[in-house]
Amino acid sequence: MDLSNNFRGEFKVTFKKKEHDALFTMNALRLLLKNEKTKLESFDEWVSSDPLTSIPLIGYYSVLNSCVYAGKKFSANKEVFIAEILDSGQLELISEAMASAMQVSDEGKK
């Protein structure tokens, strides 16, 4: 039985003129679901209902997750983070990492 977890999207975002590592994994998803008070069953609906908020938030929690693993602190106002991601054209970067993580995850289920 293969218990490996292939759900993973790695990327970098620029926030406050600094490049931050971001890691979209199951833990990042857990952090997001817990803090944004949504459920795994409704994740797709949550993303598609407001992608201009949800996708940058995926980036936010991916950066937070990367910091957790590195033993670093990350504190940023979520609204400021969202605004900077949107205004700097980084939305597609996060979308691609999210799609990559989910594609790998889906292939593992077959």
Q: Is residue 1 part of a domain?
A: no
Domain coverage including residue 80: 8-109
State how many domains the chain has.
Answer: 1
Place of tokens 């979308």: 95
* pTM attached to this predicted model: 0.87
Q: Which two tokens stand for residue 57?
A: 């938030």
Beta-strand ranges (E) seen in 1-110 are: 8-15, 18-25
pLDDT of residue 105: 44
Q: Is residue 2 part of a domain?
A: no
Query: Is residue 109 pLDDT above 50, yes or no?
Result: no
Q: Give pLDDT tens digits for 54-99.
A: 999 999 999 999 999 999 999 999 999 999 999 999 999 999 888 8
pLDDT of residue 99: 86
When comparing pLDDT for 48 and 108, which is higher?
48
High-pLDDT (> 90) share of the chain, %? 76
Q: Is residue 3 part of a domain?
A: no
Are 97 and 9 a contacting pair, CB within 8 Å?
yes
Q: Is residue 86 part of a domain?
A: yes
Place 103 in a pLDDT band, splitting at 50, 70 and 90: confident
Q: Is residue 44 part of a domain?
A: yes
